[in-house]
Amino acid sequence: MVSQNLEQILQAVQALSDADRMELRKRIAEGEARQEELTKQEQVRQALVAKGLLSHVPPRGKDPERFRKWQPIPIKGKPLSETIIEERR
**Tens digit of pLDDT for each residue in 35-55?**
677 777 888 888 899 999 988
Section 5-24 average pLDDT: 90
Say which DSSP state 69 is in: T
Provide the H-helix boundaries in the chain: 4-14, 18-37, 40-50, 64-68, 80-88
What percentage of the chain carries pLDDT values higher than 90?
24
- pLDDT-derived band of residue 1, with 50, 70 and 90 as boundaries? low
